[in-house]
Amino acid sequence: MEQGDQEYPPGTVGHLAQGQGWSRPAADDSAEAERPGGDQPGDRPEPPLREARLATPVSEPTGGEHPGDVHTDEDDDEPARPEIGAAGAAAPGVAGRDGANGHDRPDAGSARADALLDEFGELDEFGELDGFAGDDPGELTGPAPVAYHPARAESRSAARWTDPGALAAQQAQRARSGGPATGPDALASARLLRASKPPPRSGWRRMLFLLSGRTINLGEGPADLNERELTARINQPLHGCYKIAMLSLKGGVGKTTVTATLGATFASLRGDRVIAVDANPDRGTLSQKIPLETSATVRHLLRDAGRVRRYTDVRAYTSQGPSRLEVLASEQDPAVSEAFSEAEYRRTVNLLEHFYNVVLTDCGTGLMHSAMYGVLGLADGLVIVSSGSIDGARSASATMDWLDAHGHRDLVANSVAVINSVRRGSGGVDLDRVAEHFAARCRAVVRVPHDGHLEEGAEIDLDRLSRHTRTALLELAAAVADGFAAGAQDSAPKPGSGRPG
């Protein structure tokens, strides 16, 4: 029985091919002998499978047709709509025409079956291709890939949108490669100036740089790079006034010294104004940390508050040190300073925040005096100072417990703990474990080493501090500055926030 007359099981290649009306003719030895090129009777021409896949344009089906549908003899009951070719006759071998672009669409299943049969030849008794493996016969009904049309591809690429950022990147790359630069960035400093490494500021790199007559520049070392990073954190933007409360339940831990050095670090590196307020009711010593320029106190400022209009008016009541830190002194008479109430402190801060961006408050050792409620009510951040001794650490921890119990848990969680080594050496105290204890309760912990200049108790000059102390103060200021964005986000910006003249 010939292949065209045999019935094959449904779903096989033979069944699909028979559905298209295909039957393979019998072999003709004379035709094989007459093929041009002198082919031998056993040779077979190149199968047209790849050409059928690549050269056949196919578009989306129209009407009720689907890519997987197969034309069978049962469909002949419905009259077909012939396609009209260029000469007005029906185009042979065309199953339909795409209404969108007018391209002929061949019958996908017939073309695929013919191609596979031409490639692999005979059908076996089960209706499968002899020697065919790997392809599912069901895919014979799928559409062939759309042919590539150069004219259509050019029209799509011409209408494609180009990202302006990509154009800018191409221009920048052209400028770096030496091409002609145009536009507003043609005379930019980064393009015209030669790139150079910053000279080292410390260590053996600095010494080599100076001994070589500034000709050997190895760049900044790790310490210089760390200092540059800390300085950048300290100078992060601050919108409004950030109020910092310096607390300690125990005296003698260096709270006033930390207040003065922290304020001096901020004032020396930032361009805005920084002031420290002495709110200690027991004859505070904050004004002794900088050169005294006036005998006016916070009480004089409150008395004349109605006449204060400009920054120069406030400046008459403060003293300023070499670092540009200003200090508003407290009343030196203990009997009078007891009257410094919560309302008076709030009036003072409300006045200062119009002219200063950072306000530090040096609180007393007690937590129950009236001004302390105003300090905690207005504070954006806390710095809790502890010494390196066991009793100092216990007092600082008790301060945190008291604040948690009185509704200031958020301030404690966002606070910075300072372990200040007021004496040389720590004895047998494990400061690492003390730092771990505070780290579990605070946002950051900073250890300030012992410094001979700070131990003097006189006016503070940052230039006289050791390098380790300066680095520790930079870390402290950077840790406090990390809270600027959250603490002062709702405050109004202050006029005249630039560097005072």
Q: Which structure tokens are listed for 266?
A: 């901020």
Question: What pLDDT does 90 receive?
Answer: 42
Q: What is the pLDDT of residues 133-152, one digit of tens each?
A: 444 444 444 444 545 455 55
Q: Given its phi and psi angles, is residue 219 left (phi above 0), alpha (psi -120 to 50 degrees) or beta?
A: left
Q: Is 130 helix (H, G, I), strand (E, B) or coil?
A: coil
**Is residue 440 over pLDDT 90?**
yes
Q: What is the pLDDT of residue 21?
A: 60
Q: What are the φ and ψ backbone dihedral angles of 7, each rounded to 5 degrees?
A: -95, 130
Task: State the pTM of this model.
Answer: 0.59
The average pLDDT across 385-408 equals 90
- Ranges in the chain annotated CATH 3.40.50.300: 238-487
C-alpha distances out from residue 293 to 243, 315, 358, 396, Å: 24, 10, 21, 34
- What gap in Å lies between CA 18 and CA 68, rounded to an integer? 17
Residue 124: predicted pLDDT: 55
What is each CA distance from 23 to 50, 92, 226, in whole angstroms?
A: 22, 18, 84
What pLDDT score was predicted for residue 117? 55
Which residue did the predictor score with more confidence, 352 or 32? 352
Tell me what pLDDT residue 420 has. 92
Q: Are 170 and 77 in contact (CB under 8 A)?
A: no
Q: What percent of the chain has pLDDT over 90?
A: 34
pLDDT at 273: 95
Interstrand relation of 242-247 and 381-387 (parallel, antiparallel or unpaired): parallel
pLDDT of amino acid 20: 58
Measured in residues, the chain has a length of: 501
β-strand partners of 1: none
Q: Distance (Å, rounded) from C-alpha 83 to C-alpha 289?
A: 101
Nearest to 316 by CA among 334, 333, 328: 328
Q: What's the CA gap between 305 and 291, in Å, rounded?
A: 24
Mean per-residue pLDDT of the chain: 73
pLDDT of 125 reads 54
281, 340 in Cβ contact below 8 A? yes
CA distance 51 to 278: 92
Q: What is the pLDDT of residue 18?
A: 64
> Which of helix, strand or coil describes residue 189?
helix
Question: How many Cβ atoms sit within 10 Å of the Cβ of residue 477?
Answer: 27
- Please report where in the chains the tokens 């007690």 appear, as a residue: 366
Q: What is the pLDDT of residue 257?
A: 93
Q: Count CB atoms within 10 A of the CB of residue 192.
A: 8
Confidence class of residue 96 from pLDDT cuts 50, 70 and 90?
A: very low
For residue 384, give the 3-state DSSP assignment.
strand
> Three-state SS string across 115-166, please?
HHHHHHCCECCCCCECCCCCCCHHHHHCCCCCCCCHHHHHHHHHCCCCCHHH
Task: Categorize the per-residue pLDDT at 201 as very low, low, confident or very high, splitting at 50, 70 and 90.
Answer: confident
Give the chain's largest Cα–Cα span: 132
Mean pLDDT confidence for 285-314: 91
Helix axes 370-378, 342-352, angle to 10 degrees: 40
CATH architecture observed for domain 238-487: 3-Layer(aba) Sandwich (3.40)
pLDDT at 424: 78
Q: What is the DSSP letter of 287?
A: G
With a cut of 60, say whether residue 430 has pLDDT above it.
yes
- pLDDT, tens digit (0-9, with 9 covering 90-100), for 64-92: 444 444 444 444 454 444 444 443 444 44
Compare 492 and 273 and report the one with higher pLDDT.
Answer: 273
